[in-house]
């Protein structure tokens, strides 16, 4: 990988005039929740047409000044990533596959007509923030420091074209359990809405995809479910993904199926990691189509024994019940599955430095 010097950038560090006190921070870390508390610092890097990336700064987390005509507010040029920093078994801190996040970030940038950020700059920005805010990593099972790198168009203009100015930012949030219910297996609602269509932005990690999921997600919650699952836009038949997670189906014959990446599904990094681990477990891994009707039929016959979802935030979560306008069905016993638990334990053990990292997925930070 190239270095940040190759990109012609150096970071300026600004002192924080009033960081959160140790007492306040410990109070937050005792029950961090997810995405509601934030560390002291942030990274910002500017991009200007004709100049490229410049003014890399790590300093106090603070509000962003935007002109009311900023392109992001009108034409939604915005992309983001999500990854975590974990305390390792030896007390050090590490990131999980940040280079993969950097690569996906640039794929999203290409789709949204935004400038690509050198991968070395992306990774170093995150590493610097983690080192500076290491004290914000909570302790305990499932705890981590969630990192949110994102880019927005900041040029002030009203016209439908790519902006000529952008800002890349990284913020950090201490994270606990993603699902508030704490249930061993989640319940999901089959949505009538569509998340993404062929030729659209389904494979990009952009805010518009998530904005489109908010109404169906709210509908799912109002009906007593944890998440929503989307079907394809063309036939409204094939399973795609949840509001923010990829799905897997485990069969009694040792097959593990996940919907194929056809341009409408986000290529999850946790998704890819689990597929590699599943192959090592000797499973027959298939990436292909799977219909809602077949899902129901296989669950009722016992052919399908487990379903689970995965993502950076939720890691790995069993799906116990599926409901929709045509009724509901239970998967297996309705609780966590054995293979789900095994794959999750393997993944988490690698992320936390408790198992050998044979894939070179772990990047030590401090």
Q: How confident is the model at residue 2 (pLDDT cuts 50, 70, 90)?
A: low
Share of the chain above pLDDT 90, in %: 90
- Tell me how crowded residue 306 is: count the other CB atoms within 10 A of its CB: 26
Mean per-residue pLDDT, 211-215: 94
Tokens of 336: 């966590």
- Tell me how crowded residue 150 is: count the other CB atoms within 10 A of its CB: 18
Domains and CATH numbers, the chain: 4-177 (3.30.470.10), 186-352 (3.20.10.10)
Q: Which helix (H) or strand (E) holds 59?
A: strand 52-60
- Cβ density class 25-37: b for 16+ within 10 Å, e for less: beebbeebebeeb
Q: How confident is the model at residue 182 (pLDDT cuts 50, 70, 90)?
A: low
Q: How much is the pLDDT for 305?
A: 97
Q: How much is the pLDDT for 141?
A: 80
Q: Scan for tokens 């062929």, then name that residue.
A: 198
CB 299 within 8 A of CB 252: no
pTM: 0.95
338-351 and 269-280 are packed helices; what angle lies between their axes, rounded to 10 degrees?
Answer: 110
Whether the predicted pLDDT of 181 surpasses 60: no
Tokens of 44: 């910002």
Whether the predicted pLDDT of 6 surpasses 70: no
Could you tell me which of 229, 215, 338 has the C-alpha nearest to residue 291? 229
Q: How much is the pLDDT for 313?
A: 78
Whether the predicted pLDDT of 179 surpasses 60: no
CA–CA separation, 51 vs 218, rounded Å?
A: 43
CA–CA separation, 238 vs 247, rounded Å?
A: 12
CA–CA separation, 125 vs 207, rounded Å?
A: 21
CA–CA separation, 312 vs 314, rounded Å?
A: 6
Q: How much is the pLDDT for 8?
A: 81
Structure confidence by residue, pLDDT tens digits, 111-159: 999 999 999 999 999 999 999 999 999 988 888 999 999 999 999 999 9
CA of residue 53 relative to chain centroid, distance: 25
Q: How much is the pLDDT for 222?
A: 96
């Amino acid at each position: 990988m190239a270095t940040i010097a190759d990109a012609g950038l150096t970071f300026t560090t600004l002192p924080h005039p009033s960081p959160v006190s140790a007492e306040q921070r410990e109070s937050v870390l005792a029950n961090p929740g997810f995405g509601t508390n934030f560390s002291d610092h942030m990274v910002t890097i500017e991009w200007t047409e004709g100049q490229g990336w410049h003014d890399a700064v790590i300093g106090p987390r603070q509000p962003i000044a935007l002109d009311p005509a900023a392109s992001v507010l009108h034409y939604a040029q915005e992309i983001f990533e999500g990854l975590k920093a974990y305390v390792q078994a030896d007390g050090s801190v590490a990131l999980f596959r940040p280079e993969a996040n950097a690569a996906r970030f640039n794929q999203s940038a290409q789709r949204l007509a935004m400038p690509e950020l050198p991968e070395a700059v992306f990774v170093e920005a995150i590493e610097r923030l983690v080192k500076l805010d290491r004290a914000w990593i909570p302790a305990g099972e499932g705890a981590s420091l969630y990192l949110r790198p994102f880019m927005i168009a900041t040029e002030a203009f009203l016209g439908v074209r790519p902006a000529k100015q952008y800002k890349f930012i990284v913020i950090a949030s201490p994270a606990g359990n993603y699902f508030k219910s704490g249930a061993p297996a989640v319940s999901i609602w089959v949505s009538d809405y569509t998340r993404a269509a062929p030729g659209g932005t389904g494979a990009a990690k952009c805010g518009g995809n998530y904005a489109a999921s908010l109404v169906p997600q709210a509908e799912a919650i109002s009906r007593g479910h944890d998440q929503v699952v989307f079907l394809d836009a063309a036939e409204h038949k094939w399973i795609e993904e949840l509001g923010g997670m990829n799905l897997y189906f485990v069969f009694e014959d040792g097959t593990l199926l996940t919907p194929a990446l056809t341009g409408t599904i986000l290529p999850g990094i946790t998704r890819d990691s689990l597929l590699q681990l599943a192959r090592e477990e000797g499973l027959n891994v298939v990436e292909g189509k799977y219909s809602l009707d077949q899902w129901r039929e296989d669950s009722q016959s016992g052919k399908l024994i487990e379903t689970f979802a995965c993502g950076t935030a939720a890691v790995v979560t069993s799906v116990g019940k599926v409901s929709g306008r045509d009724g509901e069905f239970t998967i297996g016993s309705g609780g966590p599955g054995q293979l789900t638990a095994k794959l999750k334990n393997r993944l988490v053990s690698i992320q936390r430095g408790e198992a050998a990292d044979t894939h070179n997925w772990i990047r030590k930070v401090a």
